[in-house]
Chain A
Amino acid sequence: MTGKTLSEKIFSRAAKKESRAGEFVTARIDRAMIHDITGPLAVKGFYEIAGRNAKVWDPSKVVVIFDHQVPADSLKAAENHLMLRKFSQEQGIINYDVFCGVCHQVMPEKGHVLPGEIIVGTDSHTCTYGAFGAFATGIGSTDMASIFATGRLWFMIPKTLQLEIEGRLPSLVTSKDIILRIIGDIGADGANYLACEFRGKVVSRMDIASRMTMSNMAIEMGAKAGIVDPDDITIKYLKQHALDKDAIAKNIEVTDEAAEVTRRFWTVSDLEPQVSMPHNVDNVRPISEIPETRINQVFLGSCTNGRFEDLELACNTMKGESVAKGVRLIVVPASREEYLKALRAGLIEKFMEAGAIVESACCGPCMGGSFGLLGPGEVCLSTSNRNFVGRQGSPEALVYLASPATAGASAITGFITDPREI
């Protein structure tokens, strides 16, 4: 008998039976998150399934966060917010409302993420919490409606793809560049239905923010989860943030050495900054191969790269220079806490003095449904996770994805710029 993967162990526990990759299981859900865009449909479905006076299976396991259209940017958004406020209040569910920031930052920050747990959210980037060793994955609203009623969901236990990252990451090259390179190599569906595990010395040395960037983008290669083995760095973060500190070590699991997995290797010692060109995330080139590209907007933020470390890196890369004429630099910290850290460190003042627009913590231009949209023909360099047609506004706009360092460098030159040249 070979060993077990992390995913097999987690699902065996959650389904209360020994299970292997490829099997269908019904698993108990440890944590469920909805936000203001996909939440209303989940709530509507829940009442349709369970009845108007029904109660969710366990209100202490549900989290509501508004982040996509906050503060309400339209009457329709305000109505959605009202509906979710009423739901949370009636059900006794914690609701962070419009106040805290992007759901995927707020969830771990407020202590709702623990290693080894099954966490689902009605947002595809729920895989971000894999950075803490959780099995976290995005689901649709109706799956969530069913979970609200029963506390359970069917899964096919995924096979495991281990991505071993070795070498030493050069200066001004980041975990964003690594994950873009991996997605470029594997392709947009290269990890479909698989649980990815990010491993190797480079990952062990990474801070939590950098790990979250990689786990966040696992979905962009189709992965069901993007997991990093919990270690001292994880435990240190969890001790500061977890709501239930006694439970931190309760479900910690890692893949056995003898388990059946596929392995792929990357060496990053010579990695250049990477750029994902329109209109697919896997359309990735090293920055030296990107032709001269004038930009109209830089978006620094999102659940991918809106943390303090990202803002600091972008700010340092700008070296006190002003934003180039004709360029709009939109900075949106991922959460209120990250915003406050940036404020206290003087970063916000520097961004403002450089000519940036700093907005309160939310998803911002990333999902193209709120502010900061692009007009036809406009070009944006974005630290977010998707560059699909129409993602940030006009279907005729062009979105390039890159790291915060590349964003900072490009903001001051007005062209897509290698941060190592500043």
Chain B
Amino acid sequence: MIKGRAWCFGDNVDTDVIIPGKYLRTKDMSLLAQHVLEGLDPHFASKIEKGDVIIAGRNFGCGSSREQAAIALKEAGVAVVVAKSFARIFYRNAINIGLPLIEADVVCQEGEIVEVDLAKGTVYVNDRKVKGTKIPDFLMDILRDGGLVAHRRKEKEKIR
């Protein structure tokens, strides 16, 4: 179970507002966290704390395929992203880098405590239960291993 404080966003949060193109040349992933969601709130990086939860509307992560968007959220301490729907590439990227996410239509106030049960596909907000879309098992395995790189390495170990 993941439990954290909610930050609320609307529909179509694109990868350019999550992390603008001008920061993509860096290899320092902590720098990405310093500018996370700058396009929607210039001070967001200083507000978010480790373990917080992002709640959003439709089509979260639309736009560019830049994996740095998912990395920026993870590096900033986001524990899970809950959205009504995700853009396809972002969904894959998040799982591949070990950022938990779930499709669920959650309405809540900023600062409310949200609990997410990824295995069951449910979200709890102030005792309200919202049924989301469960992540397919083979993707849950990747998430549990901490992302696709670790997952593939583990597979390799098994073969040995």
Contact = CB atoms under 8 A, between A and B. Distances in A.
A26 B58 CA distance: 28
A146 B152 contact: yes
B16 A391 contact: yes
A143 B92 contact: yes
B14 to A, nearest CB: 5
B124 to A, nearest CB: 26
Contact of B20 (A124, A126, A145, A368): A368
Interface string B14-49: 101100111011110000000000111010000000
Contacts of B42: 395
Nearest to A77: B25
Given A24-B136, A188-B12, A391-B21, A139 B147 contact: no
Contacts of A280: 12
Contacts of B63: 124, 386, 388
B88 A193 contact: yes
A230 interface: no
Given A41-B67, A76-B25, A192-B87, A390 B149 contact: no
Given A40-B27, A142-B96, A188 B17 contact: no
Contacts of B122: none
Contacts of A139: 65, 89, 92
A222 B89 CA distance: 9
Contacts of A37: 21, 24-25, 66
Interface string A380-406: 000000101111000100000000000
Contacts of B20: 368-369, 390-391, 395
A56 to B, nearest CB: 14
Given A139-B65, A140-B96, A192-B87, A395 B38 contact: yes
Contacts of A126: 65
B108 to A, nearest CB: 21
Given A76-B25, A76-B26, A124-B64, A389 B39 contact: yes
A49 interface: yes
Interface string A27-42: 0000000000110110
B59 A142 contact: no
Nearest to A368: B21
Contacts of B6: none
A333 interface: no
Contacts of B39: 388-390, 395
Interface string A84-128: 000000000000000000000000000000000000001110100
A38 B17 CA distance: 17
Most B C-beta atoms less than 10 A away, residue of A74, A122, A386, A388: A388
Interface in A36-79: 37-38, 40-41, 45, 48-49, 68-69, 74, 76-77, 79
A355 B27 CA distance: 38
A189 B97 contact: no
Contacts of B138: 24, 154
Given A140-B67, A188-B62, A189-B62, A388 B85 contact: no
Contacts of B21: 37, 68, 367-369, 391
B150 to A, nearest CB: 9
A141 interface: yes
A143 B136 contact: no
Contacts of B152: 49, 146, 149-150
Interface in B49-98: 58-59, 62-68, 70, 85, 87-89, 92-93, 96-97
Contacts of B12: 188-189, 280
B59 A188 contact: yes
A138 interface: yes
B153 interface: yes
B84 to A, nearest CB: 10
A124 B65 contact: yes
Given A38-B66, A388-B17, A224 B96 contact: no
A26 B93 CA distance: 17
A124 to B, nearest CB: 4
A146 B156 CA distance: 12
Contacts of A41: 67-68
A49 to B, nearest CB: 4
Given A40-B27, A77-B25, A146 B148 contact: yes
Interface of B: 12, 14, 16-17, 20-22, 24-27, 38-40, 42, 58-59, 62-68, 70, 85, 87-89, 92-93, 96-97, 136, 138, 147-149, 152-153, 156
15 contacts: A48-B149, A48-B153, A49-B148, A68-B21, A124-B89, A140-B66, A140-B93, A142-B96, A143-B96, A146-B152, A149-B152, A367-B21, A386-B64, A389-B40, A390-B20
Considering the complex of A and B, which 9 residue pairs feature the smallest CB-CB distances, nearest first? A369-B21, A189-B59, A140-B93, A142-B96, A388-B16, A76-B25, A140-B67, A367-B21, A138-B65
